[in-house]
Amino acid sequence: MAEKQHYWLMKSEPNAFSIDDLARSPKQTTSWDGVRNYQARNFMRAMKAGEQVLFYHSNAQPPCLVGIAEVVKTAYPDATQFDPQDVHYDPGSLPDQPRWDVVDIRFVRKFAAPLSLNLLKEQSSLQGMELLRKGSRLSVQPVSAAEWKEILQLARRHKG
């Protein structure tokens, strides 16, 4: 029997790293470093190669879903946790027991037009989405198959 397919959503502040930055990266691939939340880390550890990721721009005007990436390498230790010069340095993380992981993701495509947070909120079928939950701050989160389908349909219809 086939493994269950999972879908994901990852947030990034476009000022720091946008989907265009991803598209311009070598091999259109980057390691998703700097995650310092256990729940988000655990979701990254559950990611499998080939799984699809919605790319979300947080702290943007407006905040929006901008496209799709895919997992190309499963979780491995985040090098920035051991680098005292790095803002994400974690002095409590031991080299033989790393706390924090990254995954590698690759650019797939941008949507024809961004799907704003407000537009997503208007969709009755997305009311249960983690992204839309009041107070939700999770930077890596699962997306249900139904939500994924709905968002892709929305992206197809929405040209800005």
Residues in the site for DNA, rule: CB under 7 A? 11, 13, 36-39, 58-60, 62-63, 92, 117-118, 134-139
| Nearer to DNA (CB atom), residue 5 or residue 37 | 37
* CB 115, min distance to DNA, A: 12
| Nearer to DNA (CB atom), residue 36 or residue 106 | 36
* CB 38, min distance to DNA, A: 4
| Nearer to DNA (CB atom), residue 5 or residue 15 | 15
97: tokens are 């027991």
Closest Cα to residue 74, out of 114, 108, 101, 38? 101
* CB 75, min distance to DNA, A: 17
The CA-atom distances, in angstroms, between 43 and each of 1, 38, 101, 124, 126 are: 23, 9, 10, 26, 20
